[in-house]
Structure 1
């Protein structure tokens, strides 16, 4: 529990503040770290005594001969969750060091506690990433996965939904913790998936709850991050999480780059079309949209997004309704397809989908 690396950190940090030699020993009395490097890996008899009695030991010039490998100073037991895990010693006149030694003991225990808590948190996070990777890549769902999910405290309450976040790798720091804080203690699994992606796996949220959480998430992260989110299909079984993940990937792939959030349902038809990403599909798109510049294509995109509601679309485009009507008329004239007609609008929508890479 008390490693050499941690012992060296304690010695380094405390010596800077106290300007005294500090020794850190394990419960066998072995000096793990010291400001006096020649003493490292030697037995400190005073520390052995402290480990047995679990009481502080003051060593003076007069009694130092009783404790082989010791020098005048104070040696204090160090605890973690009421268990003795080591001994901390400070070299000098013990009478003058009583108050400092108590403070050193407290500081050391706080440093150890913080280090172990962080280590445990990192282990749990890595375990989540490993389990998620197994779930989305395994052809079968081995029993060991259920055991690992149970160890992580992840409850198997359906439905399960996979959410992916795309963000610059430079912005990874602290984002996982932010997401865990955002979902609080609810059933979620968060971690890194690949270079520029994070994953969130939720359990037990109904569709309405998932939407509410997700819709507020960009604003929550926007203070520091530029992110895109994609949401996969909900699945009823943990064994089908791979399907939810794959649909989240498709949503991220085919969602418009400017959209903060893309649900798979929004791009499902497009993803089916893209599976046959043929030369003929490209030719179809170019033929239908021939003669339309970016302004008119954008107009069509927003028109269809607005469910062909002229007033809504005009407001989004910040243009007058008459201007929108004029543009739609020009599109009809240029392409031969009438945006007001269901059949023609379907052709135009397909062409727009196939135009996007």
Structure 2
């Protein structure tokens, strides 16, 4: 139904252009808003008839006495998605306003449609975020939640993927960001929104890994035109009650993933999450002991060497040095630390020390 706030907006905007008194009436006949404030909350007998018949009613000086609290004019039904939501009345000589009456009706229906669609969208957004909050609190799937999921069009078929988005969106741009998401996922079984302060989430059901990667790559292509965004994809789970675990792994993907990458799967950084207590005394002691007195140049050389799978030619090209120079540096690292970067077992220790140092 039309709210009083919306009714007042319709009266204000329509009278501004039409220069005639306008009444917006509830389906029960009560005037919600009017240019004549004394008529607000009184019963309009003519509008009651329109609400019952769903047909326009012309009131003249001759039949005016037949309708409670009515004045000459034209009263028309207002529909939203084929359902009667109110009545609009235009006060005046019917002969003078008949040509504009239909236009006023159509304009009003457009305003109602826009307002109610926006209201429904806002309701769905709040509902999605409430559901996600409950899932993060590991609330069991009760009937109320199942009904809510059904109302927002989410069908819980495994697997479930939780995804987090690290978005640099200003408050002014947030509405645009949400609208992008709504348009993009209009046909999918997806919950998305804002979680806590600056976390944005997506919860997807019924897609395999390939489909997820394809869909998120397409989403990124659209979003990065307007926003700086990184996307972390969590471990799939088979039960919606375990969505909180998937979301935690998605956040780990963002936290530990390569800052230059836009899409990170948790599997890529799983070992980092196992080492997440990198600020412990033991970790600091281990890093200091293994890397010892390596300078920044040698540490950078080691990072590039491991990132290129210990391939000398590719590593030397990326560093912009001769291959012999690279070999000399690796020998320096071996002599300083006691660990040989070319040896598999030693390389593991050096790599873990680097990870801990950079986390």
Whether the TM-score (by the shorter chain) exceeds 0.5 is yes
1:249 match: 251
How far 1:330 sits from its partner (Å)?
4.7
Q: Does 1:272 align with 2:274?
A: yes
1:89 match: 89
CA distance in 1, matches of 2:250, 2:109: 45
1:235 match: 237
RMSD of Structure 2 on Structure 1 (CA): 2.7
1:212 match: 214
The question of whether the paired residues in 2 share the 8 Å contact of 1:167 and 1:226 is answered with: yes
How far 1:169 sits from its partner (Å)?
5.0
5+ unaligned residues in a row in structure 2: which ranges? none
CA distance in 1, matches of 2:16, 2:47: 23
How far 1:324 sits from its partner (Å)?
5.1
The question of whether the paired residues in 2 share the 8 Å contact of 1:72 and 1:91 is answered with: yes
Q: Residues 76 and 173 from structure 1, CA distance in 2 versus in 1: closer, same or farther, beyond 3 angstroms?
A: same
Q: Give the TM-score taking structure 1 as reference length.
A: 0.88
1:345 match: 347
Q: Residues 299 and 93 from structure 1, CA distance in 2 versus in 1: closer, same or farther, beyond 3 angstroms?
A: farther
5+ unaligned residues in a row in structure 1: which ranges? none
Q: Does 1:172 align with 2:169?
A: no
Which SS does the other structure have where 1:130 is aligned? helix
1:222 match: 224
CA distance in 2, matches of 1:256, 1:303: 16
Q: Residues 128 and 253 from structure 1, CA distance in 2 versus in 1: closer, same or farther, beyond 3 angstroms?
A: same
Q: Residues 37 and 225 from structure 1, CA distance in 2 versus in 1: closer, same or farther, beyond 3 angstroms?
A: same
- Deviating beyond 6 angstroms after TM superposition, the runs of 4 or more aligned structure 1 residues are none
Q: Residues 330 and 107 from structure 1, CA distance in 2 versus in 1: closer, same or farther, beyond 3 angstroms?
A: farther
1:203 match: 205
1:185 match: 187
CA distance in 1, matches of 2:292, 2:109: 72
Aligned counterparts, 1:271-310, within 5 A:
271-275=273-277, 277-294=279-296, 296-310=298-312
CA distance in 2, matches of 1:339, 1:267: 21
2:148 match: 148
Q: Deviations over 1:229-271 (max 9, x none)?
A: 1111111222322221121122223234443222222222222
The question of whether the paired residues in 2 share the 8 Å contact of 1:310 and 1:321 is answered with: no
The question of whether the paired residues in 2 share the 8 Å contact of 1:21 and 1:91 is answered with: yes
Which SS does the other structure have where 1:79 is aligned? strand
CA distance in 2, matches of 1:349, 1:267: 13
2:41 match: 41
The question of whether the paired residues in 2 share the 8 Å contact of 1:54 and 1:77 is answered with: yes
1:319 match: 320
- Paired positions, count: 356
How far 1:68 sits from its partner (Å)?
4.0
The question of whether the paired residues in 2 share the 8 Å contact of 1:60 and 1:94 is answered with: yes
How far 1:327 sits from its partner (Å)?
4.9
Structure 1, 295-304 or 243-252: larger mean CA deviation: 295-304
CA distance in 1, matches of 2:31, 2:102: 20
The question of whether the paired residues in 2 share the 8 Å contact of 1:169 and 1:196 is answered with: no
The question of whether the paired residues in 1 share the 8 Å contact of 2:277 and 2:283 is answered with: no
1:128 match: 128
How far 1:86 sits from its partner (Å)?
1.3
Q: Residues 150 and 184 from structure 1, CA distance in 2 versus in 1: closer, same or farther, beyond 3 angstroms?
A: closer
Q: Give the TM-score taking structure 2 as reference length.
A: 0.88
Which SS does the other structure have where 1:2 is aligned? coil
The question of whether the paired residues in 2 share the 8 Å contact of 1:232 and 1:246 is answered with: yes
Which SS does the other structure have where 2:228 is aligned? coil
CA distance in 2, matches of 1:279, 1:345: 22
Aligned counterparts, 1:326-337, within 5 A:
327-337=329-339
Which SS does the other structure have where 2:134 is aligned? helix
